[in-house]
Amino acid sequence: MNIELRQIGKRFASRQGQVEALAEIDLTIGDGEFFVLLGPSGCGKSTLLNLLAGLERPSSGEIRFDGQTVAAAGGDVWVPPPQRDVAMVFQSYALYPHLSAFENIAFPLRVGRTVRREIEPAVREIARTLQIEEHLMARPAELSGGQRQRVAIARALVRKPRLFLLDEPLSNLDAQLRAETRVELKRLQRELGVTTVYVTHDQVEAMTLGHRIAVLQKGRIEQIGDARELYDRPANPFVGRFIGAPRMNLLEATWRREGEAVRLHLAGQELVLAGAASPHFGGREEGACLAGWRPEHLHLEGEGKEEKKTSLTGRAGLSEPLGREYLVHVELNGAQLTVLRAGPPPGEGQRVRVRPDPEHLHVFTSPLA
């Protein structure tokens, strides 16, 4: 099932007055797509999910499933959740505490008046797929967090819905379990091919799971794309900093072209970047911007290798060992940079030079959101 969101807005009244949770969202999700809504808390991603489920009504705009309007602002069209054929997994799992796992999973089937004969095999089948068959007789209180989550997923999928919604389902699991379940979810979705919308604040989850990701902030979509696009070509500083860990470095700079190269003025120093950087600056000759480099695209060089102003000088600070590599904090004239370095880090206080990759420069003209 494909989904269209047109000019969707959601406002509600609170003690502080009118709050705009979502503003002019336009979105299309394809049939069978695993679509991720990514953003920090308060960005509106859960609200969007609730709108899709029918748990909230849009203040403006229209939602269409397979071309049919299911919700329109003003109340002309409204299809309530029971009739949308949507299934949802909540962050808290929301399992019915008084029912066994089996009954929890069977619940939507019983409510939907499925023929009794067909209920048991359907439940057992989905339980088998999620490897919880042996826990079917237990109550939620007797199950572990991971098992409860699988029951929640089973309950959602047992009726083979045309839309599968998940609201931060992995956030209550410990790190190890989270990583394992992530892979399983991806595999499951590929197998079933159900259109899925997944909400998370964890960019790693988003990148590994989604076909496409929408990054949201304060009720607006900052960028939509697949993992590669968002990582390599972030549209603005917010996306640049939000995606990828460790975070992208951003420095305020002024720049001017010099023939094939570009001369940058930043952190009180000058930097000359080779022609590979030139396309990032568009058609202009000079200007001001935010220059960004990911820590892996900065290279530390010891003193003494005097190159033609292709590096910045600074002082090394703390180094954090990450296992594979070190994250070195470098200070230059009040600005801070973080650099990923495979080899042993420089000592604290040592003078170092940081050479950025010209072709992996990100140029942003809008201010940091």
Partner 1 sequence: MKTERPGSLPMLVAAIFLLIFCLLPFGYMVLTSFARRPDYLRGNEGLTFTLENYHDILSAQSLHFLDYLRNSLVISGLSAACAVAIAALAAYALTRLSIPGKGAILFGVLAASLFPQVSLVSYLFKMMNALGWINTWPALILPYIGWVLPLSLWILVSYFAQIPLDLDRAALVDGCSRRQILMRVILPVAAPGIFSTFLLAFIFAFNEFLFALVLSVDHRARTIPVGIALFQGLHGQIPWGRIMAASVFTTLPVVALTLFFQRRIVQGLTRGAIKG
Partner 2 sequence: MKPAQDSRTALLFLLPLLLTVLIFIAAPVAGTIVESFFRDVTFLPRRFLGVDNFRSLLADRSFHQSVRFTLLFTFASVPLEVALGLIFALVLNRPLPGRGLLRAAVLVPWAIPAAVSGRTFELIYNYSYGLANYLVLTLGVSEAPVNWLGSSYGAFASLVIADAWRTTPFVAIILLAGLSAIPDELYDQATIDGATGLQQFARVTLPLLKPVLTVALLFRTIDALRVFDVAYVITGGGPGGSTNALSLYGYQYFLSGDFGYGSAISVVLFALALILSIFYVRLSGFGRVLT
Nearer to partner 2, 75 or 283 (CB): 75
Nearer to partner 2, 57 or 211 (CB): 57
Nearer to partner 2, 33 or 56 (CB): 56
Nearer to partner 1, 80 or 282 (CB): 80
For residue 346, the Cα-to-chain-centroid distance in whole angstroms is 34
**Binding flag, residue 90, partner 2 (CB under 8 A):** no
Whose structure tokens read 């370095």? 341
Nearer to partner 2, 17 or 75 (CB): 75
Tell me the chain's radius of gyration from C-alpha atoms: 25
**Binding flag, residue 74, partner 2 (CB under 8 A):** no
CB of 58 to partner 2, least distance (A): 13
**Binding flag, residue 78, partner 1 (CB under 8 A):** no
Scored b (16 or more CB within 10 A) or e, 301-333 reads: eeeeeeeeeebbebebbebeeeeebbbbbbebe
Decide: 43 and 219 in contact? Cβ < 8 Å.
yes
Q: Binds 78, which of partner 1, partner 2, none (CB < 5 to 8 A, cut-off by type)?
A: partner 2
Backbone angles phi, psi at 217, to 5 degrees: -145, 130
- Site residues for partner 1, window 103-162 (CB under 8 A)? 107-108, 111-112, 155
Torsion 230-20-33-110 (CA) sign: positive
CB of 55 to partner 2, least distance (A): 10
Q: Binds 314, which of partner 2, partner 1, none (CB < 5 to 8 A, cut-off by type)?
A: none
Residue 165, classed as helix, strand or coil, is strand
CA dist 11 to 17, 45, 46, 73, 326, Å?
10, 14, 14, 11, 45
Q: Which residues of this chain interact with partner 2, rule CB under 8 A?
A: 57, 75, 78, 80
Binding site for partner 1 (CB under 8 A): 53-55, 80-82, 86-88, 90, 92, 94-98, 107-108, 111-112, 155
